[in-house]
Amino acid sequence: MRCQNGPRRTTNNQLTQSVRQHQSIDMAKRKDYWDEYTNLQRVKHDIIRNYLNGWFPILGSISGKLVYFDTHAGKGRHRDGHLGSPLVALDTFSKHTSRDRILSKCEVSFIFIEKDAECKAALDKEISNLVDKPEKVSINTIAGDCFACLESLVDHFKKPGNRLAPSFFFIDPYGFKVPGKIISELMRFQRVELFINIIWRELDMAMRQPATMENTLDNVFGDTTWKEITQLPDIDERAEATAMHFQNLANAKWSTHIRMLGDNQRTRYFLLHLSNHDRGRDLMKECVWKSCPDGGYLARKGDKINQEILIQPEPNLIPLRKWIASTLAQRPHRWQELAELNRRELWLNKHLNSEIKWLLKHGELSATDYSGRLSAKANPLLSLSK
C-alpha cells in the first residue's frame, strides 16, 4: 500500500466542519430521496433487475428455494412513480419468461426489512396492491433494524441442521455504517451473494476523522485496515482499496464494483457485488456493461434517465488488445484459457473474442492445433506471430 507524501491539505477543524455540513446536506437529501429519481437510482435498479433476471433461472434450476433480501427496503415507489428496489425485484420475477418453470421446482421468497414506520407502511400498501401473487412466492416485510435481523439470521443458520437457501442480499443504506462483521458472516454461507451500496463520500470523510471516528470505522471495516487506506493520496485509489478490503474481509472469490459519480464527477458511492461463483461474476460483469456501455464501470448522476441513446458508445478495447499480446508473450494459450483469465479482468468474453479475431485477421496472432472453423469453440492454441 502506498503512503501519503507531504502534509494533508485539509486541517481537522475544516474536516469536522465539512463532515457536519455534508451530514446536514445528507439529512435534507434523505428527505428528498423519494422525491427524485436520478440516473444513479436508475442504474442501481437496472443492475438489480438485470442481475436477478439471470440469477433466478440459474439458482432456480439447482435449488428448491431462493431468497431475495432487501435490508433497507424503503417505500417501494418514488413520488414520480418509479419503482423502488423491492418492487423492482418483485416485478422482475413476476415478468420473468421462466417464472412458471422456476416455480414448478422452487419456492421464491422476498424478505424486505425497513426501520422507518412510515416507509414500511407505504411499502406494505404497495405490496397489498399487487395482483399477481403465485402460490409458491412469499413476500414478508419486517419492521426493524436490519442489522439486528441479520445477526439473528446468521445465529439461526449457523446452528447445525439449519441451511440457508441461496440468497441475494441487497444492502442499500443512506449512510456508511454497515458492520463489516455482518458482511463477512453472511458470505460464509454457501450461495449467498451481496450487493452493497457503499456510501463512499461519507465513509472517506469519516476516515479522515480518526480521532472521533475510530470505533465506528473499526466496526465498518471489521478491523483497522482503514488506517492504511487513509494514507493513500487519491480518493479513487482509496475507494478501490476499500472495495478490495471488503472482498478480503468477506473472503469472497469475486468482487465487482461500479462507481457512481456525483455532480462534481467524484465517486459519490459505489455498488459492490460479492460472490463466490464464477457465473455470478460473469453475470454481474454483463449487467455493469449494460448500464455503462462505454466500459468505465462508472455512472454519472447528471446523465438523463430517459434519454434515447441514438449512438451506442463504443468501448475502447485497445487496452484489451495489449493485454492479449502481453499474456501471449509469456507463452501460447488456448483461446478458452484466455477466456478463463479474462474473468479477472473487466472485459466481457464477446470483447475478448472480437479482439482475438481482429488480431488473427491482421496477422498479429497465429492459431494452431484445432479442427473445423477457427473460433472460440474450436479452442485453438494462440500465439503471437513472429
Ligand X SMILES: C[S@@+](CC[C@H](N)C(=O)[O-])C[C@H]1O[C@@H](n2cnc3c(N)ncnc32)[C@H](O)[C@@H]1O
| Residues in contact with ligand X by the rule CB under 6 A | 33, 70, 72-74, 84-85, 113-116, 119, 145-147, 172-174
DSSP letter string over 63-76?
Answer: -SEEEEEETT---S
Parallel, antiparallel or unpaired: strands 254-261 and 298-300: parallel
CB of 39 vs ligand X, minimal distance in Å = 14
Closest CB to ligand X among 172 and 282? 172
70 has which bridge partners? 112, 170
CB of 86 vs ligand X, minimal distance in Å = 7
CA atoms within 13 A on the CB side of 62: 6
CB of 234 vs ligand X, minimal distance in Å = 27
Closest CB to ligand X among 37 and 56? 37
Closest CB to ligand X among 89 and 232? 89
382 has which bridge partners? 333, 367
111 has which bridge partners? 69, 140
Closest CB to ligand X among 92 and 276? 92
Question: Using CA of residue 147, residue 153, residue 154, residue 156, what is the dihedral sign?
Answer: positive
Gyration radius from the chain CA atoms: 23
Closest CB to ligand X among 70 and 282? 70
Closest CB to ligand X among 113 and 274? 113
Asked if residues 170 and 85 have their Cβ atoms less than 8 Å apart, the reply is yes
Would you give the distance in Å from CA 223 to the centre of its chain?
A: 22
Asked if residues 380 and 367 have their Cβ atoms less than 8 Å apart, the reply is yes
Closest CB to ligand X among 85 and 291? 85
Closest CB to ligand X among 43 and 146? 146
Asked if residues 352 and 342 have their Cβ atoms less than 8 Å apart, the reply is yes
State whether residue 298 is helix, strand or coil.
Answer: strand
- The residue number with the shortest CB distance to ligand X is 84
Q: What CA–CA distance (Å, rounded) separates 326 from 330? A: 7
Closest CB to ligand X among 267 and 342? 267
Asked if residues 246 and 196 have their Cβ atoms less than 8 Å apart, the reply is yes
Q: Which of 94, 86, 111 is nearest to 56 (CA)?
A: 94
Angle separating helix axes 349-361 and 318-330, nearest 10 degrees: 70
CB of 52 vs ligand X, minimal distance in Å = 13
Ramachandran category for residue 363: left, alpha or beta (phi over 0 → left; psi -120 to 50 → alpha): left
